[in-house]
Amino acid sequence: MTQWKAICRVEDIPRLGARRVQRPAGGAVAIFRNADDQVFALLDRCPHKGGPLSQGIVFGTSVACPLHNWTIGLDDGCAREPDHGCTPRFTVKIDDGQVYLDVEELDTLALDEVKAAA
């Protein structure tokens, strides 16, 4: 059974922006909120050259990377054509305005990639 960790409330995430969640094991997670108050979570690392996606601008269901302006889909973490590559996506649960992330994903997801990039 999935264990969930309460992170923040939806309104704590800037609309069209993101909030950064540090993980003890490394590799922060970026939690995004779009204009429709949908919430998405990705590893805070662009699949291009590791730019901080949490500092990008959200539009629709995408974020523009602040470094070289690649468009990354928030629903799948993947770069839009003509660019390639994906960044890991984290499962988000919203319950009564509270944002939760999966504890196991926080502890384990994409740690190899983070170490390889360090």
Q: Give the separation between CA 82 and CA 23, rounded to whole angstroms.
A: 32
Interface with ligand FES, residue 55, by CB under 6 A: no
Interface with ligand FES, residue 40, by CB under 6 A: no
Interface with ligand FES, residue 68, by CB under 6 A: yes
Q: Report the nearest approach of ligand FES to the CB of residue 31 (Å).
A: 18
Q: Which of 30, 41, 65, 92 binds ligand FES (CB under 6 A)?
A: 65
Interface with ligand FES, residue 51, by CB under 6 A: yes
Q: Which of 16, 38, 48, 98 binds ligand FES (CB under 6 A)?
A: 48
Residue from 77, 83, 36, 84 nearest 56 by CA: 77
Q: Give the separation between CA 72 and CA 80, rounded to whole angstroms.
A: 6
Taking 3-state DSSP, the helix, strand and coil percentages for the chain, each rounded to the nearest 5, stand at 15, 35, 45
Q: Which of 13, 46, 63, 74 binds ligand FES (CB under 6 A)?
A: 46
Cβ–Cβ < 8 Å for 31, 15: no
The site for ligand FES (CB under 6 A) is made up of: 46, 48-51, 65, 67-68, 70
